[in-house]
Amino acid sequence: MSLPATVIPLPQPVLLPVEGSAESFPVRRVYCVGRNYADHAIEMGHDPNREPPFFFQKNADNLFAGKDFPYPPLSNDVHFEVECVLALKAGGADIKAENALDCIYGYGVGIDFTRRDLQAEAKKLGRPWELAKAFEHSAPVSALVPASRLGHPTAGRVWLDVNGERKQDGDLNQMIWKVPEIIAELSKLFVLAPGDVIMTGTPAGVAAIKKGDSISCGVDGIATLSLKVV
């Protein structure tokens, strides 16, 4: 297939590395789940009971596999949120939970960096969250590990250290909405497709970072990720 002539250069595709492979994973959309661990919902001042899940989006090109996280502008309160990441190889609308795992290409670990001060203001004013969530480099991710190698983990420590000190320490089995339910609920709202990436929410312990910090995080049994805040 030859590409059509374009009036400006074609945007670069967003590609994530795949562990143990020379081939990469092309990203289409990025969906994120809010408040999916009870202890984090409580620390953010919300009821941890099983309210319907809610979602927001980041931009595909906010994902990156680099080692440096550039501290973003116009915030003095950037928080980390370590999350298990799903990468889809199939999609559709109204996917049943019992079929949802068949849509998953693989898993990784990522950070949903958040300009918490801008998010707090947006919440107060009833405004959208993009300023807080969808900024440049806001979603570093590990290489993806194919489910064909990994299976579909339902438990495993989800952790994050700053300068060697443990800040977040949860477990995949504490998710309020499990992975098949997330895909089922999301596919009621959007038509999912190959290339979609889902960030599945964060356990408690989110906090601010500063330039010079070293961050390490992981989901045990899946992947780890290390970054420097620059």
What does the binding site for Mn ion look like in residue numbers (CB under 5 A)?
81, 112, 202
Q: How many other C-beta atoms can be found within 10 angstroms of the C-beta atom of residue 91?
A: 19
CB of 32 to Mn ion, least distance (A): 5
Q: Which is nearer to Mn ion, 75 or 202 (CB)?
A: 202
Least distance (Å) between residue 33 CB and Mn ion: 7
How far apart are the C-alpha atoms of 21 and 144, rounded to whole Å? 10
Minimum separation from the CB atom of position 3 to Mn ion (A): 35
Q: Which is nearer to Mn ion, 81 or 196 (CB)?
A: 81
Name the residue nearer to Mn ion (CB basis): 18 or 170: 170
CB nearer to Mn ion: pick between 116 and 180: 116
Least Cβ distance, residue 206 to Mn ion (angstroms)? 8
The CB-of-112 to Mn ion minimum distance in angstroms stands at 3
| Dihedral in degrees, nearest 10, Cα atoms 108, 111, 112, 118 | -170
In this complex, which beta carbon is closest to Mn ion, that of residue 47 or of residue 102? Answer: 47
Do the Cβ atoms of 177 and 33 come closer than 8 Å? yes
Q: State how far the Cα of 228 lies from the Cα of 213, in Å rounded to an integer.
A: 6
- Using the minimum distance from each CB to Mn ion, give the nearer residue, 168 or 202: 202
CB 202 to Mn ion: min, Å: 5
Residue of minimal Cβ distance to Mn ion: 112
